[in-house]
Amino acid sequence: MNNLVLEVADQIAVLKISRPAALNALNSETLDELNEVLTEIEGRDDIKVVILTGGADKKGNEFKSFVAGADIAEMVNFTAAEARAFGMKASVPFFKLMNMRQVTIAAVNGFALGGGCEIAMACDIRIASDNATFAQPECGLGIIPGFGGTQRLARLVGMGRAKEMIFTCDNIDANEAYRIGLVNKVVAKEELMDSAKAMANKIISKGSYAVSIAKAAINNGYDMDIQNAVEMEANLFGITCSTHDKAEGMGAFLERRAADLTDF
Ligand code: CO8
């Protein structure tokens, strides 16, 4: 891979988007590589959480940029058809981040602009370093957020705030992103990866199969009517009751001992 670095240890995959010369902007090659590596990760039982972050800039600053957007140099001459294809190319790995059985955490270490904010929003959880900056600057470039931003931002922060961010293109800092619900947590930049790994380890200590089913229940039910959503949840609840982890988790509680949860 030319633009990604994958490190796996202790059931956590740290996936770094690394294009130092372009502040990790997403070009077609990076999107293809993301799709490939996420497909591989989905098939691996030794990975339970994926932490997505940005690599250092060309001066070695690790907290300059998470992802500074889609690659403007690639997009500048797009025809309408090419632009559509580029958007669809991004949607495949973005939906993988959203729907894969592993939990995905964006550790946002600097600029999360345009497509950078959009890829963070495709993850299950976002933790921002205190120097992170978020924005949807696309309307200032004469385009719209096209990597899911017009849809995911409104779902995360509500329609009014999403419209304000998209129409004004204003930058917001990490604390404002936390205040409006765009990120789950803000930490000192030096603590970003430790904080993301601590959350990952807490999630890993739970029943991994149950966590992956809960993720599917939340995602699938979100756009359903409440009656059908709760029925879908009951069906998934039934499935978790046939697992080793359910017998072990409940048995351990009744026997007053620590549970040994193993299922994926
Ligand atoms: N694309 C391409 N190259 C970029 C990008 C980008 N998004 N961002 C930065 N770079 C490059 C710069 O061109 C520069 O390259 P070089 O050194 O060769 O001149 C290098 O990265 C360093 O950048 P700067 O010198 O500009 O660094 P600064 O510290 O001065 O500024 C900023 C940092 C503020 C982040 C600035 O680089 C910037 O404003 N970048 C663009 C941010 C932006 O507008 N992002 C949104 C892009 S549009 C988008 O994401 C659309 C997504 C949906 C697409 C849907 C298609 C269907």
In 3D space, the residue among 115, 121, 110 whose CA is nearest the CA of residue 153 turns out to be 121
- Is residue 263 predicted with pLDDT exceeding 80? no
Asked whether 65 and 22 are in contact (CB, 8 A), the reply is: no
Per-residue model confidence as pLDDT tens digits over 128-158:
999 999 999 999 999 999 999 999 999 999 9
* 204 band by pLDDT with thresholds 50, 70 and 90: very high
Which residues approach ligand 1 with their CB closer than 6 A? 21-23, 25, 68-73, 83, 86-87, 111, 113-115, 137-138, 141, 145-147
Q: How far is the CA of 21 from the centre of ligand 1 (A)?
A: 10
Q: Which atom of ligand 1 is nearest to the CA of 118?
A: 52
The pTM assigned to this predicted structure is 0.98
Q: What is the largest CA-CA distance in the chain?
A: 66
Whole-angstrom distance, CA of residue 210 vs CA of residue 215: 9
* 248 band by pLDDT with thresholds 50, 70 and 90: very high
Instruction: Tell me how crowded residue 112 is: count the other CB atoms within 10 A of its CB.
Output: 33
Please give the positions annotated as active site: 118, 138
Beta partners for 127?
107, 185
- Rounded to the nearest angstrom, the gap between the alpha carbon of residue 136 and the centroid of all alpha carbons in its chain is 17
Q: Whose CA is nearest to atom 42 of ligand 1?
A: 68
In 3D space, the residue among 89, 105, 11, 101 whose CA is nearest the CA of residue 52 turns out to be 105
* Structure tokens belonging to residue 123: 């993850």
- Is residue 264 predicted with pLDDT exceeding 80? no
